[in-house]
Structure formats: C-alpha cells, structure tokens
Amino acid sequence: MAGKTLFDKIWESHVVREEPDGTTLLYIDRQLVHEVTSPQAFEGLKLAGRRPRRPAATLAVPDHNVPTTDRTLPIADHISAKQIRTLEENCRDFGITFFGMDDIRQGVVHVIGPEQGFTLPGTTIVCGDSHTSTHGAFGALAFGIGTSEVEHVLATQCLVQKRPKTMEVRVEGTLSDRCSAKDIILAIIGKIGTAGGTGYVIEYTGSAVRALSMEGRMTLCNMSIEGGARAGLVAPDEKTIAYVKGRPLTPPEAMFERAVQAWRSLKTDQDATYDAVVTLRAEEIAPQVSWGTSPGMVLGVDQKIPDPRTIVDVKTKSATERALTYMGLSPNTPITEIKIDKVFIGSCTNSRIEDLRLAASLAKGRQVAASVHAMVVPGSGLVKQQAEAEGLDRVFRDAGFEWREAGCSMCLAMNADVLQPGERCASTSNRNFEGRQGAGGRTHLVSPAMAVAAAIEGHFVDIRHWS
C-alpha cells in the first residue's frame, strides 16, 4: 500500500462519515471566531433554536474593527462598536470564551490562536477568515470558511467537505541574507499564480522550510490562500513541540507526552506521492515586492516593472495595463526607484514578536524618511507587551515609527487606519487588491525587513546590499 501524506493522515483521522461519492462529513476540532463574519451565524442559530455543540471548542476575539489607538476611549465608529458588542453578547449567550478589547490576550485571530496554544498539530481548525491557513504551520489542517459554515460548525462541530488534492511545494537551500519566509511565499505565488493552488492543500517541505522558525512557517502558511490553496501545511517537528509547550491552552501536563508521541507521527511517508509538485531554490529568491493589484503580480526587488507591450497573452496584458494604471506605475521602472508614502508593519502575516525584533534591529539608530509615515501594529496584546519588555517600542519610536495597539488595522482598513487615494504603501500584509487599504490606495507587499528599509530610504532598496 502506498504511503500517506501528512494531509492524508490528518484528513483520515477526522472523517466522521463518507458517502460513496466522496462527500465527507469532517470533524472540526477547533473554531476561531471574529466579529465580522460571525453575527449572521449566531443569528442563524438563534432563529433555528440551535445551540453550539461544543462551545468549549471555540475561541472568539474582535480584531478587524478594533481601533489601534488609545483603548480607554470609546470606539468612534458606532457601527464598528456595535459589531464588537454583538460578538461579546453572542459569546455570553452561547457560553463561548471571548477575549475582549481590554484583555491583554486580544489580537489578530491568527496570532492569538497559536499564542494561546489553541492551535495544535494534527487538528482541524476553521475560522470565518481566509487566512486561517496560517495555523497549518503547526501541521494542522486549517482553512477559511464562510459565515453559513461558521454556523454549521457551531451547531454540529462538523463540515461537509470534498477531499482536496495535495501539492508539495519544496524549497531547498539557504535563503540570502535578510530574506525571509515572506519572500519565499511571495516567490511561490509569483511562480504558481493566484489560482495555482485552487483545489489543493499545499505541504511546504525542503531544507529552507525546515530551517524556518515557527513564526516564519506561519508567515508561509498564512499566504497559501493568496496562491489559491485553502490550506498550507508544515509537518510538526521539535520546533513545533517546543513552541506549543507550556502555553495556556496546550494539553495538560498529564497528557502532553502522549500528545507529543502522536504529533511525531505526523509526517508524509517516504513512499507517499502528491498530486502536484513545485520546487524552488532558496538561493534564487530575491527580496520580493508586489507591483500590481493581485498577489501574483510580484517581482524581485532587483527587477523592473513589466511592460504590457511585451506581453502576448491578451488576458494578462489587459490585467497588467489595468494594474499599472491603478498603481500609478510606468513600465520598465526599476522597483528600487518607487517612492513610498506610508509603511505598515503588522497583520496576521508579519506582526509576531520575531517580525518586530527583526524590524527593530534594522530600524535601530536610523530615521524614517521625512516624506514617509510609518506605523507598527503588533499582532496581539501579548506581542505588544513582550516587545515593550524588550524595548522594541522605544527603538521604533526613536526612529520615527508610530507604535500602536493590536489589531488588523491597515491590513484591510476597516478601522480608522486607512490609505488616502493615490497614497503608496509598503505593507507587510498579504493583499494588494484595489482599495484593500483604502479606496485608491496603492499597496506593495513586502517583508518586514524590506518595509523598514523602505521607510528609512523613502523608496524600495535591495536589503541584501543595504548597509
């Protein structure tokens, strides 16, 4: 019998029932809930007179709407405030654990899950949010769902699913100096395209992936969705176990060893095969910068903006033209000549302590360019606390960065942190769609190191050669 992939093992241990046509009732171990995609799900439960099957398997937190300025003030936007209040009330009514805005544990949903030890290897995790793929870094099958499915999981602890295909993305070798997980994932998306992973679960393998910290693996898995895959996976190893150990919601002492034993078997068998395989060399990955309005429109910082006149495919040509118009860029401009107005360091892609440490180490003793407005938004209250204990906030402030409270902030600009029309932002977030960070705003996706360097120089620089 052929071996099994990591995905096969997790999937098969969660099958509750399978129809002859392959339609599967899949058991869901954990659900994360935030304020934007849940009110209609709770309303649905109420209307149908249903109760959550396992309220203790769900954890809720407001993140998308929360202000990242002074938390002691009331939220200026009444509709945002109402949505957050609604979540709190629903959690109270249904007995779900809720981390409120005044709770130090509050933060971006995909940051707090791992931080609390809610995210565990071998589990199935869902959330009404496409970046749920982040949790795959622990060897969990984690994917985003819509609001009706949020309701479905609350009511039944199950989801109806078709088995996806598997894709191995193998990255071998050693990254260049100052390049990071963000550059790897952007390069992957540049290679496979934004629909390249559609219908697949990606498993990231290879020496460059193994070498990443848990934070780096989360960055990698986070953007699986930008490559079209609903989920990304990294097999758990000693780093995973060390990260999980001792967190508030990890298995109690008495069961921990048993859990670890089970986690050690979570890897793809030698003789297993994937439905598709993609390979990259880490040495060949330059610091990445997105130039367009789709995450697949990305290039190495040493490249030039594409010229639509040289593109043969009609669809790509017109999409490129449209993107360049929106982005206000001319063909053949070297990326290092693009000047920026704003810098955003944050989001579920890059707002963890390691990201902030790296960013601070580059910002130390330097000054943000006079023409640039830069801000740092930690991923959670605990990340913020840790950063402050290490003095990172001082480093950022001294360099001219704003230091904010935890939340999604300018990743999607649902709160007050918004780009003005035409403003150009170097952002460590994950989406560069038209208007994502504010109507008319122009987003360039980059790593934290690239964002800091851009803040200081006022334009993109190749950090490999930046002194």
> Minimal distance in Å, beta carbon 411 to ligand SF4?
3
| Binding-site string for ligand SF4 from residue 69 to residue 108, where x marks contact by CB under 6 A and - marks none | ---------------------------------------x
435's contact among another protein, ligand SF4, none, with CB below 5 to 8 A by partner kind, is another protein
Nearer to another protein, 220 or 412 (CB): 412
> Minimal distance in Å, beta carbon 312 to another protein?
16
Integer Cα distance of 85 and 76 in angstroms:
14
Residue 65 binds another protein, judged by CB under 8 A: yes
Residue 347 binds ligand SF4, judged by CB under 6 A: yes
Nearer to ligand SF4, 129 or 151 (CB): 129
Task: Label residue 237 exposed, middle or buried (CB < 10 Å: 0-12, 13-18, 19+).
Answer: middle
Binding to ligand SF4 (CB under 6 A) within 426-445 occurs at 429-430
Which candidate, 182, 153, 140, places its Cα nearest to that of 346? Answer: 182
Q: Left if phi > 0, otherwise alpha if psi is -120 to 50, otherwise beta: which for 264? A: alpha
Binding to another protein (CB under 8 A) within 403-432 occurs at 412-414, 421, 431
Binding to another protein (CB under 8 A) within 68-87 occurs at 77, 79-80, 82-83, 86
The window from 21-29, 203-211, 367-375, 446-454 that contacts another protein (CB under 8 A) reads 21-29
Geometric angle at alpha carbon 358, from 383 and 285, rounded to 5°: 125
Q: Are 108 and 90 in contact (CB under 8 A)?
A: no
Tokens of 21: 């046509």
Which residues lie below 8 Å from residue 296, measured CB to CB, with a gap of 6+?
189, 190, 193, 194, 226, 227
> Minimal distance in Å, beta carbon 55 to another protein?
9
> Minimal distance in Å, beta carbon 190 to another protein?
14
Residue 192 binds ligand SF4, judged by CB under 6 A: no
Among 12, 51, 93, 148, binds another protein (CB under 8 A): 148
The window from 47-55, 210-218, 230-238, 408-416 that contacts ligand SF4 (CB under 6 A) reads 408-416
Q: Are 215 and 355 in contact (CB under 8 A)?
A: yes
79's contact among another protein, ligand SF4, none, with CB below 5 to 8 A by partner kind, is another protein
Which candidate, 198, 195, 202, places its Cα nearest to that of 139? Answer: 202
Axis crossing angle, helix 109-116 with helix 214-222, rounded to the nearest 10: 140
The window from 138-146, 181-189, 340-348, 445-453 that contacts another protein (CB under 8 A) reads 138-146
Integer Cα distance of 58 and 25 in angstroms:
19
Integer Cα distance of 395 and 359 in angstroms:
10
195's contact among another protein, ligand SF4, none, with CB below 5 to 8 A by partner kind, is another protein
Binding to another protein (CB under 8 A) within 312-371 occurs at 315, 319
Which candidate, 83, 89, 33, 40, places its Cα nearest to that of 61? Answer: 33
> Minimal distance in Å, beta carbon 89 to another protein?
10
Number of residues that bind another protein (CB under 8 A): 80
Residue 270 binds another protein, judged by CB under 8 A: no
Among 14, 131, 352, 384, binds ligand SF4 (CB under 6 A): 131
End-to-end CA distance of the chain: 55
DSSP states of 380-416 as a string?
Answer: BHHHHHHHHHTTHHHHHHHHT-EE--SS-GGGTT-SS
Binding to another protein (CB under 8 A) within 196-225 occurs at 198-199
Among 118, 396, 403, 460, binds another protein (CB under 8 A): 118
Among 115, 149, 215, 354, binds another protein (CB under 8 A): 149
> Minimal distance in Å, beta carbon 132 to ligand SF4?
9
Integer Cα distance of 429 and 437 in angstroms:
10
Which candidate, 137, 162, 146, 113, places its Cα nearest to that of 232? Answer: 137
Which candidate, 383, 441, 397, 438, places its Cα nearest to that of 416? Answer: 438
411's contact among another protein, ligand SF4, none, with CB below 5 to 8 A by partner kind, is ligand SF4
Q: Are 460 and 450 in contact (CB under 8 A)?
A: yes
Among 14, 30, 64, 404, binds ligand SF4 (CB under 6 A): 64
What stretches of 127-213 show up as alpha helix (H) in DSSP? 147-156, 181-192, 207-210
Number of residues that bind ligand SF4 (CB under 6 A): 14
Among 305, 319, 348, 363, binds ligand SF4 (CB under 6 A): 348
Integer Cα distance of 123 and 118 in angstroms:
10
Residue 406 binds ligand SF4, judged by CB under 6 A: no
Contact set with ligand SF4 (CB under 6 A): 63-64, 108-110, 129, 131, 347-348, 408, 411-412, 429-430
